[in-house]
A and B are shown apart, each in its own frame.
Chain A
Amino acid sequence: MAIVVWSQAVYTHASMSIIDPSRIRNFSIVAHIDHGKSTLADRLIQVTGGLTDREMQEQVLDNMELERERGITIKAQTVRLKYKAQDGIEYTLNLIDTPGHVDFAYEVNRSLAACEGSLLVVDASQGVEAQTLANVYQAIEVDHEIVPVLNKIDLPAADVERVKEQIEDVIGLDASDAVEISAKTGIGIDKVLEAIVTRLPAPEGELKAPLKAMLVDSWYDSYLGVVVLVRIIDGQLKKGMKIRMMRAGVAYTVDQIGTFNPKRTNAEVLGPGEIGFLTASIKEVADTRVGDTITEERRPADEPLPGFRPAQPVVFCGLFPVDSSEFEDLRDAIGKLRLNDASFEYEMETSAALGFGFRCGFLGLLHLEIIRERIEREFNIDLITTAPSVVYHMHLTDGTMKELHNPADMPDPVKIDHLEEPWIKATILVPDEFLGGVLKLCEDRRGIQQDLTYAGSRAMVVYELPLNEVVFDFYDRLKSITKGYASFDYQIIGYRTDNLVKMQILVNEEPVDALSIIVHRDKAEARGRVMCEKLKELIPRHLFKIPVQAAIGGRVIARETIAAMRKDVTAKCYGGDITRKRKLLEKQKAGKKKMRQFGRVEIPQEAFIKALKMDE
């Protein structure tokens, strides 16, 4: 997916020599959405001659349709720039563009770890925003040198001095040497390039040491197979070399190596400090793990790089085709997406209500939504998404423990001794004025406060929270409560026992397994009530009245009734209206395909997710 602009056919001459690491600078750009990260990247590529004007596509680095629409980056991407600095020396600058969402926090961390420094881009008319802060802390965490860049200085509302102060107060960075630019008009781009060379450190590495390279990211290309983005730490990566992935424990022979300039350019060798790609007839992205260490099979490094973490899906849900005849198409679509995204898991699932589908595991909700949207858009399959769930540890009375990915699979309660659920430690940075709302949200979600500190006008709160309370709409709620000014990061801290029960939803007296959820006993009634109320709104009136109930075991804890339809008849229908009437019926029939039949009741596909949203 990353290969839209640097097309297969375009090659420049292969590089034969090793670049002196002192002439390399590896950097990423940290910015709030809309503050001009992509525009600056485009401008840097253009000024250094990476692409001709004709080849220049706006915002080359964000080239997946979905990424563009959502204004986020999902996969890390890289571009190598050649820049002749004022000292007369030609430098190689590698820019890595990083994903920007908490679901992909680990991928961001690895991309940043592949660089020595960052440009912190702040909109001079807007100032520092929540997301900036979250991202810049990640860069600080991996010891980056950071160069503040004030963008959009040509705007009438730009207030350079105020924003500099803010950078110093809020982030604690010296902003006196901040570079002032307008990425849109090109003002100051030369100064940015010069600052990259003079203020960011060069990479260090042992040319003679055994190969040690970090696997930064990978993606599937239909011509080349899996393309692996690597950062060389020590040693040399050469064409034809037999390499080993140290964590995955598998070996490959390198077919091609090279760089993105931004066109893909083949090379013979990559040395310390360089960022480039390799291909090695790897079939699936699943065979490559972000953060893994690549070494030479014949002369391996002693130790892998620190910081590796296997991808761990934390949110599970069922994906079912609305039209059950599309099951095989869905299997095919998921298989293809999985080629390019190893971080989600899937297995077949059968639902009494929904038929055949897949139980899928994701890094988080955004990740879930991205995959779902890609299936719907790129493969044109309408989906029903069931309630997202976390992985529970189910301790049975016979002393065994089973993982529970799907509430529908929960056995008879008498067989269960107790349930454990995953907990997270959440760190939230939030401007003072929104703190109250954030604390309430965390408390409502069964959070336990661990820490509350202030930095300037910002509070940092640390909460332990059940992941179950977070997966669904916590992030959305947090954004809305704080008007987008909060940043949020979390890590899983382990499993805890609690009083958890399975709540079923019955529509017209029949249980709909796809709407079952596991919920804390104390929350069940409130949750059940909200779900019944939501379903009452979401399920259209039928010809008969429909009871909607929430139940634990056999006990109904909440109930709503969808009244029967009262009037639905065309007032005037004569000779000239017959055709229109028939066409309307044909259209309605097609529309029914977006509904699922449960007994006599038709439930719209979006109801399965919307029923779970809590409007607080």
Chain B
Amino acid sequence: MSDTGKTGLYIHWPFCTRICPYCDFNVYKDRGADEAAWEEALRADLEWWAQKAGATLYTSVYFGGGTPSLMAPSLARAVIEAAAPVAGAEITLEANPTDAERERFTDFAAAGVNRLSLGVQSLRDEALAFLGRNHSATETIKVLEFARGAFERLTFDLIYARPGQSLDVWRAELAEALALAKGHLSLYQLTIEPGTAFEKAVARGDWAPADEEMTAAHYDLAQAMCADAGLAPYEVSNNAAPGHEAQHNLLYWRYQDYVGIGPGAHGRVRIDGQLYETVALDKPGEYLAATPEQRFALSPLTGVEQAVEMLSMGLRLSEGISLARYEALAGAPLNDRTLTEMAGDGLVHVEGDRLSLTADGRRVLNAIVASLV
């Protein structure tokens, strides 16, 4: 079904034991139903998609959330078996660095998970408290060390540009993180998203987010430190040693196909040559009550829409995009004058068919994409 030979599978597990104040994902505190019901639903989804889009060989599987490590390892195993990904496929699970979850890591690995993504967020207790996390720095480090041994591949997230976080504090924290890393790190700027507790706090004037200069300085520092440590910035917020890049996430950024199941999951699925945007029902109760046919809303994407999506995702990668692919989708090339001006400003780099952003350009990617489309 994919035109690039690769198709990913994303499973959204929308439940968390607590809702973090910065998070705007489709998450719920209450689990609401038993795992047998979810297993049945997710299996049915996979069957339905196999019929709808033709037999699919998944090249990667990703359990995201929410907190998918809260699901029973047996449920993960059942889904992986039903999906039947290709041999050697990357199978990632997101988890929080708590002792409770650590106890199940071995079972998840046995179920087929070969890559763990830990929501570390910070290595400082006061920052973890501010971010509403339920793990301490000591516990986090302990879990990290355990996970390094339990999974072939490991990554973890940090959140930077927290209010009041100085460059020195960030430098020290990141240095510790680099020492704990196993080939991959995701570093996210703290952003204030609509509908979150942080949005309300900022609106009340409880605290102010870091300004543009500060976040830029944090970002530049992180890029330099990761590069020094051999973790190349292959994507705006992701750094990896060669060969450790997240294969599943690369699908998104390279604008390849993926099936998304579970409440609120999105997909990009090709049916008879036409690419569709797919959006699953986001309320868990409604999701379980619906048939697979009712769960997914499919809308065809026009060539121009695909071009815009491909561009805005692809320029996140240091490898950039193919100009010919953009032109084929959009029906028209990117504005040459704009590209020349941006190149003159040191923001973009054009070499043959590849358009990529410079380090300066990647910091202002949103504005670049907005000017290009």
> Do the beta carbons of A575 and B236 come within 8 Å of each other?
no
Q: Does B154 contact A (CB under 8 A)?
A: no
Contacts of B10 in A (CB 8 A): 575-576
Q: Does A581 contact B (CB under 8 A)?
A: yes
> Do the beta carbons of B373 and A567 come within 8 Å of each other?
no
Q: Does A565 contact B (CB under 8 A)?
A: yes
Contact A573-B373, Cβ < 8 Å, known A543-B368, A566-B212, A567-B212: no
> Do the beta carbons of A568 and B365 come within 8 Å of each other?
yes
> Do the beta carbons of B342 and A567 come within 8 Å of each other?
no
- Write the B45-77 contact mask toward A (1 if CB under 8 angstroms, else 0): 000000000000000000010000000000000
**Interchain CA distance A573-B362 in the complex, whole Å:** 13
Contacts of A570 in B (CB 8 A): 191, 236, 365-366
Contact A543-B371, Cβ < 8 Å, known A575-B252, A578-B309, A581-B309: yes
Contact A567-B364, Cβ < 8 Å, known A572-B188, A578-B266: yes
Q: Does B107 contact A (CB under 8 A)?
A: no
Q: Does A52 contact B (CB under 8 A)?
A: no
Across the two chains, which residue of chain B brings its CB closest to A589?
A: B373
List, sorted by A's number, 8 A–B pairs whose CB atoms are closer than 8 Å. A543-B347, A566-B363, A567-B216, A572-B188, A574-B64, A576-B264, A579-B266, A581-B313
Contacts of A572 in B (CB 8 A): 188, 237
Size class of the contact patch on chain B:
35 or more
**Interchain CA distance A600-B367 in the complex, whole Å:** 13
Question: Using a CB-CB cutoff of 8 Å, which residues 567-600 of chain A contact chain B?
Answer: 567-576, 578-579, 581-582, 585, 588-589, 600
Q: Which among B8, B215, B258 is the interface contact of A567 at CB below 8 angstroms?
A: B215
**In angstroms, how far is the closest chain A Cβ from the Cβ of B187?**
8
> Do the beta carbons of A568 and B364 come within 8 Å of each other?
yes
> Do the beta carbons of B236 and A569 come within 8 Å of each other?
yes
Q: Does B81 contact A (CB under 8 A)?
A: no
Q: Does B308 contact A (CB under 8 A)?
A: yes
Contact A573-B309, Cβ < 8 Å, known A543-B345, A567-B212, A568-B365: no
- Write the B192-216 contact mask toward A (1 if CB under 8 angstroms, else 0): 0000000000000000000011011
**Interchain CA distance A589-B370 in the complex, whole Å:** 7
> Do the beta carbons of A573 and B364 come within 8 Å of each other?
no
Contact A585-B266, Cβ < 8 Å, known A543-B364, A565-B367: no
**In angstroms, how far is the closest chain A Cβ from the Cβ of B110?**
27
Across the two chains, which residue of chain A brings its CB closest to B248?
A: A575
Q: Does A544 contact B (CB under 8 A)?
A: yes
Contact A582-B252, Cβ < 8 Å, known A543-B342, A566-B213: no
Number of A residues, CB within 8 Å of B: 24
**In angstroms, how far is the closest chain B Cβ from the Cβ of A594?**
14
Question: Using a CB-CB cutoff of 8 Å, which residues 316-373 of chain B contact chain A?
Answer: 316, 341-342, 345, 347, 362-371, 373
**In angstroms, how far is the closest chain A Cβ from the Cβ of B211?**
9
Contacts of B215 in A (CB 8 A): 566-567
Contacts of B345 in A (CB 8 A): 543-544, 564
**Interchain CA distance A576-B10 in the complex, whole Å:** 10
**Interchain CA distance A589-B25 in the complex, whole Å:** 25
> Do the beta carbons of B236 and A573 come within 8 Å of each other?
yes
Q: Which among B277, B364, B368 is the interface contact of A579 at CB below 8 angstroms?
A: B277
> Do the beta carbons of B191 and A571 come within 8 Å of each other?
yes
**Interchain CA distance A165-B221 in the complex, whole Å:** 73
Contacts of B213 in A (CB 8 A): 566
Contacts of A569 in B (CB 8 A): 236, 362-366
> Do the beta carbons of A574 and B237 come within 8 Å of each other?
no
**In angstroms, how far is the closest chain B Cβ from the Cβ of A574?**
5
- A residues adjacent to B (C-beta < 8 A): 542-544, 564-576, 578-579, 581-582, 585, 588-589, 600
**In angstroms, how far is the closest chain A Cβ from the Cβ of B131?**
14
**Interchain CA distance A69-B82 in the complex, whole Å:** 65
> Do the beta carbons of B313 and A573 come within 8 Å of each other?
yes
**In angstroms, how far is the closest chain B Cβ from the Cβ of A453?**
49
**In angstroms, how far is the closest chain B Cβ from the Cβ of A200?**
57
Question: Using a CB-CB cutoff of 8 Å, which residues 3-52 of chain B contact chain A?
Answer: 8, 10, 12, 25
Contacts of A544 in B (CB 8 A): 345
Contact A575-B365, Cβ < 8 Å, known A582-B308, A582-B312, A585-B370: no
Please give me the 7 A-B residue pairs with the lowest Cβ-Cβ distance, nearest first: A566-B216, A567-B216, A569-B365, A571-B188, A571-B189, A576-B266, A575-B252
**Interchain CA distance A284-B183 in the complex, whole Å:** 79
Contacts of B347 in A (CB 8 A): 543
Q: Does B265 contact A (CB under 8 A)?
A: yes
> Do the beta carbons of A585 and B312 come within 8 Å of each other?
yes
Q: Does B249 contact A (CB under 8 A)?
A: yes
Contacts of A575 in B (CB 8 A): 8, 10, 251-252, 258, 260, 266-268
> Do the beta carbons of B268 and A578 come within 8 Å of each other?
yes
Across the two chains, which residue of chain B brings its CB closest to A588?
A: B370
**Interchain CA distance A588-B188 in the complex, whole Å:** 23
Contacts of A600 in B (CB 8 A): 341
**In angstroms, how far is the closest chain A Cβ from the Cβ of B247?**
13
> Do the beta carbons of A567 and B313 come within 8 Å of each other?
no
Most buried by B among A575, A578, A581, A589: A575
**In angstroms, how far is the closest chain B Cβ from the Cβ of A572?**
6
> Do the beta carbons of B363 and A567 come within 8 Å of each other?
yes
Contacts of A566 in B (CB 8 A): 212-213, 215-216, 363-364
**In angstroms, how far is the closest chain B Cβ from the Cβ of A471?**
37
Contact A579-B252, Cβ < 8 Å, known A567-B212, A567-B219, A569-B362: no
**Interchain CA distance A330-B279 in the complex, whole Å:** 42
Q: Does B139 contact A (CB under 8 A)?
A: no
**In angstroms, how far is the closest chain A Cβ from the Cβ of B12?**
8
Across the two chains, which residue of chain B brings its CB closest to A580?
A: B266
**In angstroms, how far is the closest chain B Cβ from the Cβ of A583?**
10
Q: Does B152 contact A (CB under 8 A)?
A: no
Q: Does B305 contact A (CB under 8 A)?
A: yes
**Interchain CA distance A568-B219 in the complex, whole Å:** 11
Contacts of A573 in B (CB 8 A): 236, 252-253, 312-313, 316
> Do the beta carbons of B342 and A574 come within 8 Å of each other?
no
Contacts of B341 in A (CB 8 A): 600
**In angstroms, how far is the closest chain A Cβ from the Cβ of B279?**
7
> Do the beta carbons of B237 and A571 come within 8 Å of each other?
yes
- Write the B265-277 contact mask toward A (1 if CB under 8 angstroms, else 0): 1111000000001
> Do the beta carbons of B252 and A578 come within 8 Å of each other?
yes
Across the two chains, which residue of chain B brings its CB closest to A544?
A: B345
Beyond the given A570-B366, A575-B268, A579-B279, please list 8 additional residue pairs across the A-B interface where CB-CB is below 8 A.
A543-B347, A568-B367, A573-B316, A575-B260, A576-B265, A581-B309, A582-B309, A585-B312
Contacts of B371 in A (CB 8 A): 543
**Interchain CA distance A588-B64 in the complex, whole Å:** 29
**Interchain CA distance A576-B249 in the complex, whole Å:** 11
Most buried by B among A565, A581, A582: A582
**In angstroms, how far is the closest chain A Cβ from the Cβ of B173?**
17
Across the two chains, which residue of chain A brings its CB closest to B305?
A: A582
**Interchain CA distance A585-B264 in the complex, whole Å:** 21
Contacts of A574 in B (CB 8 A): 64, 249, 252
**In angstroms, how far is the closest chain A Cβ from the Cβ of B177?**
16
Contacts of A581 in B (CB 8 A): 309, 312-313
**In angstroms, how far is the closest chain A Cβ from the Cβ of B250?**
11
Contacts of B25 in A (CB 8 A): 576
Contacts of A543 in B (CB 8 A): 342, 345, 347, 364, 367-368, 371
Across the two chains, which residue of chain A brings its CB closest to B188?
A: A571
Contacts of A588 in B (CB 8 A): 370
**In angstroms, how far is the closest chain B Cβ from the Cβ of A326?**
23
**Interchain CA distance A582-B236 in the complex, whole Å:** 18
> Do the beta carbons of B219 and A585 come within 8 Å of each other?
no
**In angstroms, how far is the closest chain B Cβ from the Cβ of A602?**
9
Contacts of B277 in A (CB 8 A): 578-579
**Interchain CA distance A582-B366 in the complex, whole Å:** 11
Q: Which among B216, B237, B265, B373 is the interface contact of A585 at CB below 8 angstroms?
A: B373
Contacts of B316 in A (CB 8 A): 573
**Interchain CA distance A544-B362 in the complex, whole Å:** 14
- Write the B233-262 contact mask toward A (1 if CB under 8 angstroms, else 0): 000110000000000010111000010100
